[in-house]
Amino acid sequence: MQGNRDNPQGGSRPSGPPGQFRGVTLWAVFILVSLVLVTVIADRMGSRARLSMDEFKRELENNNVEELTIQTDRMIGRLREVQGKGQSREFEVEWPPGAMDSAFTEYLLQHCRGRVRTDNNSGVLLQILGQLVPWVLVLAIVWFFLFRQLRGFGGGPGGMLGSFGRSRHRVTTREHTHITFADVAGIDEAKEEVTEIIEFLKNPKRFQRLGGRIPRGVLLVGEPGCGKTLLAKAIAGEADVPFFSISGSDFVEMFVGVGASRVRDLFKQAKDNAPCIIFLDEIDAVGRRRGAGFSSGGHDEREQTLNAILVEMDGFDSSDQVIVIAATNRADVLDPALIRPGRFDRQVYVPLPDVKGRLEILKVHARKIKMGTDVDLSRLARGTPLFSGADLAAIINEAALLATMANKDFVEMADLEEARDKVRWGRAKKSRVIDEKERVATAWHEAGHALTQCLLPHADPLHKVSIIPRGPYLGASFSLPEKDRTSYSSRWIQATLRILCAGRIAEEMACGEVNTGASADIRQVTDMARKMVTEWGMSERVGFLYFGTDPQRQSMWGDLPGGHDYSPETARLIDEEVRGIVDAAVGDARRLLTENRDKLERIAHALLKYETLDASEVKRLIAGEPLDRPTLDDLLDAADGQRGPTAVPTARKIDAPAEPDFGAGPLPQPG
CA distance 643 to 355: 48
Cα–Cα separations (whole angstroms), residue 132 to 31, 120, 242: 14, 19, 55
Burial class (CB in 10 A: 0-12, 13-18, 19+), 298: exposed
From the candidates 282, 360, 446, 508, which is the catalytic residue? 446
- Our answer to whether residue 55 is catalytic in this structure is no
For residue 54, the one-letter residue type is D
- Helix or strand run (H / E) with residue 454: helix 436-455
Q: How far apart, in whole angstroms, are the C-alpha atoms of residue 494 and residue 589? A: 11
Task: State the Cα–Cα distance between residues 12 and 2, nearest whole angstrom.
Answer: 10
- Phi, psi of 117, deg, nearest 5: -145, 160
**CA distance readout (Å), 477 to 270, 387, 444, 449:** 52, 17, 12, 7
Alpha helices (H) along 10-61: 18-46, 53-61
3-state SS class at 653:
coil
How far, in Å, CA of 2 to CA of 237, rounded?
16
Tell me phi and psi for residue 240, to 5 degrees: 55, 55
Give the span between the Cα atoms of 478 and 449, in whole angstroms.
10
Q: What is the DSSP letter of 657?
A: P
| Calpha distance 327→339 (Å, rounded) | 12
Closest CA to 341 of 320, 313, 319: 313
- Beta strands at 276-281 and 243-247: parallel, antiparallel or unpaired: parallel
Q: Is the dihedral of CA 488, 490, 495, 501 positive or negative?
A: positive
- Residue (of 105, 127, 125, 107) closest to 117 by Cα position: 105
Question: CA 556 → CA 281, 293, 462, distances in Å?
Answer: 21, 7, 42
- Any idea what DSSP says for residue 623? T
Q: C-alpha angle with apex 404: 403 to 410, nearest 5 degrees?
A: 55
Alpha carbon distance 481, 459 (integer Å): 9
Bridge-based pairing of strands 90-94 and 74-79 is antiparallel
- Polymer length in residues for the chain: 671
b/e string for 572-602 if b means 16 or more Cβ within 10 A? ebbeebbeebbeebbebbbebbeebeebbbb
Kindly list the catalytic residues. Answer: 446
